[in-house]
Amino acid sequence: MSEGGDAAPAMSPFLAACRCEPAAHTPVWIMRQAGRYLPEYRKIRSEVDFLTLTKTPDLAVEVTLQPVRRFGMDAAILFSDIMTPVEGMGVPLDFAPGPVIETPIRSVEQVDALRIPDPEEGVPFVLETVRLLGEELPDSAPLIGFAGAPFTLFCYLVQGGGSKTFSEAKAFLFAEPEASRKLLEKLADTMVRYLEAQALAGAKALMIFDSWVGLLGPEQYREFAFPAVRRMIEGLDHLDVPLIYFPNQGSTLLGTVRDCGADVVGIDWRLPLADARKTLGPEIAVQGNLDPTALFAPRDELARQIDRVLADAGPAPGHIFNLGHGIERTTDPDAVAFLVDHVHEVSQRG
């Protein structure tokens, strides 16, 4: 390493924490930080719909930057939707406002007919957004690219849209285990190409959202969802970017999650980070896990809740502060500013 004027810049707190290395302070960002709780986001959305926003690089860049500018977040996350890359597989898709799949996948023939698309052809606007963000973002706020985990995408494709229970999708696992496995593998391979392309376009970390995996018991997780996400992570292993896996509501799955190969595991607010650390071991960083509704508490109570999360994470490196789920639309942006400042202040090191 050289010294003096042209010293390599120190690794950002976010990237250091991803690698379980000491950071100047505990880094913080917030799931759905670019979104409706921000007036500057709502202003843009009053002019264009959600889909247009995700498909227009200049606008997607702008809303990605908004929370970084306003709060000094330690990471930015690509503004997009987990279903965006699925359309290119040959699945016509609508948003109303949740994803609607006209012809749900319910047979092995439909699975066989799905393509594994080239992201540069299928979703050039996403990669263009990532490239532009590489120019715009400060080194202190690296860009997180993301994709849905195979099981979560499976849920939408088989169910045909959003659902509280995704019972059709889960029933398909039980009734058609072979077709299910095939579909999960195809989704894994598609997402590998998609995330690879994001990394090549400049994303500094990659996150895999398994939003619906909490619907599975441990056995079905081990049998279906886990092999697919591990396949995905193995396919991304050659890239030199940290991988974050978020098994939402997956408290009872964590003993298996440990072996998925991710550098960081996101934890929802139901499991204290100390318990998560105990299960995951010292080599895996944790991300989370303030209850998003704590942002509605008076400031002193909010501070107490933040301090509890930091205490649960413990003094060892490898903690990225975040909410345990996406921020609520009715959240006061000033509460978010307080959160970011408070985390930075109390976690300042040396």
Residues 141, 184: Cα–Cα separation, whole Å: 33
- Contact residues for its own copies, defined by CB under 8 A: 164-165, 167, 170-171, 173-175, 177, 214, 216-220, 249, 251-252, 269-272, 275, 291-294, 296-298, 301-302, 305, 308, 324, 328, 330
CB of 328 to its own copies, least distance (A): 5
Residues 32, 230, 231, 277: which is the catalytic one? 32
Which residue, 197 or 229, has its beta carbon nearer to its own copies?
A: 229
Residues 37, 41, 74, 156: which is the catalytic one? 156
247: CB partners within 8 A, 6+ apart:
149, 210, 213, 214, 253, 254, 257, 265, 266
Give the number of other Cβ atoms within 10 Å of residue 198's Cβ. Answer: 29
SS3 233: helix
Which residue, 185 or 223, has its beta carbon nearer to its own copies?
A: 223
Which residue, 129 or 211, has its beta carbon nearer to its own copies?
A: 211
CB of 174 to its own copies, least distance (A): 4
CB of 13 to its own copies, least distance (A): 25
Residues 264, 200: Cα–Cα separation, whole Å: 20
- Contact assessment for residue 285 and residue 318, using Cβ atoms and an 8 Å cutoff: yes
81 counts as catalytic:
yes
Which residue, 252 or 348, has its beta carbon nearer to its own copies?
A: 252
Residues 150, 117: Cα–Cα separation, whole Å: 15
Residues 15, 122: Cα–Cα separation, whole Å: 29
CA–centroid distance for 284 within its chain: 16
Residues 36, 131, 181, 258: which is the catalytic one? 36
CB of 255 to its own copies, least distance (A): 10
E runs forming strands in 177-333 = 205-210, 243-247, 264-266, 285-290, 319-323
230 counts as catalytic:
no
Pairing of strands 264-266, 285-290: parallel
Which residue, 52 or 167, has its beta carbon nearer to its own copies?
A: 167
45 counts as catalytic:
yes
At residue 245, φ and ψ (nearest 5 deg) are -115, 130
Nearest to 330 by CA among 44, 39, 66, 30: 39
Which residue, 139 or 301, has its beta carbon nearer to its own copies?
A: 301
156 counts as catalytic:
yes
Which residue, 202 or 333, has its beta carbon nearer to its own copies?
A: 333
231 counts as catalytic:
no
Nearest to 18 by CA among 267, 248, 243: 243
Nearest to 347 by CA among 317, 327, 326, 324: 317
Q: Which residue has the tokens 């441990």?
A: 218
CB of 331 to its own copies, least distance (A): 9
Residues 37, 41, 74, 81: which is the catalytic one? 81
Indicate which residues carry an active-site annotation: 32, 36, 45, 81, 156
